Amino acid sequence: MKKRLLYYSLIPHINHKNALVITGMRQVGKTTLMRQIFKEIGEKPKVWFDLDNPLDQKVFEDIDYRNIFTRLAKTAEIGENKRLFVFIDEIQNFPEITKVMKYLIDHFGVKFIVTGSSNFYLKNLFPESLSGRKFLYDLSPLSFRECLYFKEKITLQKAQENDLEKLLRGNDLFKFKKFELDYDDYLRFGGFPEVVMTEDTDTKKEILKNIFASFFEKDLKILSDHQDIRQLRDFILLLVPRVGSLLEISKLASELGIDRPKVYGFLEFLQGTFFIKLLPKFSRSIDRTVAGGRKVYFSDTGILNSIGQVNEAQLFENAAVNQLSVYGSVSFYRKKNAAEIDAILDGKTAFEIKLRGTENDLRKVSKVAESIKIKRAFIISKVFTDKKKIVAGLNL
């Protein structure tokens, strides 16, 4: 299995005192990534635990944390002045683990490399005991460039190119034609590694169904009420046709027959488990996150396609927003008179997303961007054009 690009960002921090915490959806490759790091450190004292296993949880169930270290050190056969490396998969299953981690980091210099499938769990179940003692990384489904790298169609060096400015400067017709079918496949099936590396279309669809089923089986443990689980399922189905649209909370609540706070709770849960992205409205105020309603997108277009139907424009916009998110924070702009901008990156660059971008589209978005003091504007187009500032989606 090839290494995710995040691997190369993690390795330089392997000897730092802070814990490495890798979060993300299930099946994006967190465990594989951690196993690759486990292998990379070679013969250093190391132990591995999977907290999906109750027996592994028991190792950390001791009110005297020194006893825990003694057991871990004995298991790893740690030598004199050697540092212990502890790898833990699925830490959200044992909330008390962060207190243990803090103590062992502070008193014994233990290096932790851990994964978690839910920021929702981390935020709501974990005490904030690792403040200043962790580096937090989100592992998303494969980007399009990572897909090409995994399929051995581009080099690692090309996959690691992260210069958005360079990508925005020009289009390459040869590159577009070379990877056009791959991009269509990416839009349809998304970026889960197992899906990307599977050739058969029917098998891809089956894997996506299994990923969705696994989400309900494992991540919904926190929702013990079966009625809540059914309502959440129906809520997800209501979100599908709303991709790229401003969410109307009252309407969603009415259609499901629930109250507004519960809708907000579902949205927080789905975003916290990396299932969806909620784009905030752009604002010049200090706190942009509360500037009105939000637009919804799914974190993977393959999952989106497997649970419902959206049109081509929605699918492309969803993919483009996910691609832009790699480069920074994304918001959108909408005014009451219907003037809007699909995506604004880091409050500095405006993007309108079109299946077939034109110079007229560019003039319109540039005018709106100028009205809110954003100096740069581009069109992201699914169809290739050689016009300046109209960028092919597969280039991002």
Whether 156 and 75 map to the same domain: the answer is no
pLDDT band, residue 123 (cuts 50/70/90): low
* pLDDT at residue 290, rounded to an integer: 43
Point out the domain boundary residue: 103, 138, 173. 138
* pLDDT at residue 169, rounded to an integer: 83
pLDDT band, residue 228 (cuts 50/70/90): confident
Whether 218 and 74 map to the same domain: the answer is no
Residue 233: pLDDT over 80: yes
Whether 172 and 203 map to the same domain: the answer is yes
The average pLDDT across 357-383 equals 96
**Domain range for residue 97?**
5-138
Residue 99: pLDDT over 70: yes
pLDDT band, residue 41 (cuts 50/70/90): very high
Q: How far is CA 33 from CA 8, 25, 259, 338, in A?
A: 10, 13, 40, 45
Whether 382 and 266 map to the same domain: the answer is yes
What CATH number corresponds to the domain at position 39? 3.40.50.300
The total number of residues written for the chain in this structure = 396
User: Percent of the chain, pLDDT > 70?
Assistant: 93
Distance of alpha carbon 278 from alpha carbon 268, whole angstroms: 9
Point out the domain boundary residue: 90, 114, 138. 138
Whether 234 and 363 map to the same domain: the answer is yes
Dihedral over alpha carbons 109, 132, 122, 291 (to 10 degrees): -170
Point out the domain boundary residue: 138, 154, 178. 138
Task: Return the higher-pLDDT residue of 123 and 323.
Answer: 323
Whether 293 and 379 map to the same domain: the answer is yes
- Mean pLDDT for all residues in the chain: 91
* Per-residue model confidence as pLDDT tens digits over 189-221: 999 999 999 999 999 999 999 999 988 877 766
Contact by Cβ (8 Å): 186, 147? yes
pLDDT band, residue 124 (cuts 50/70/90): low
* Per-residue model confidence as pLDDT tens digits over 142-183: 999 999 999 999 999 999 988 888 888 877 899 999 999 999
Whether 69 and 216 map to the same domain: the answer is no
Whether 15 and 162 map to the same domain: the answer is no
Q: Which residues contact 153 (CB under 8 A, 6 or more apart)?
A: 179, 182
The average pLDDT across 306-312 equals 95
Residue 287: pLDDT over 80: no
Whether 131 and 190 map to the same domain: the answer is no
* pLDDT at residue 81, rounded to an integer: 77
Q: Quote the number of domains for the chain.
A: 2
B/e letters for 184-216, b = 16+ CB within 10 Å, e = fewer, are ebbbbbbbbbbbbebeeeeebbebbeebbeebe
Contact by Cβ (8 Å): 49, 56? yes
Paired strand residues for 19: 134
Whether 103 and 229 map to the same domain: the answer is no
Whether 311 and 179 map to the same domain: the answer is yes
Whether 130 and 162 map to the same domain: the answer is no
Task: Return the higher-pLDDT residue of 62 and 228.
Answer: 62
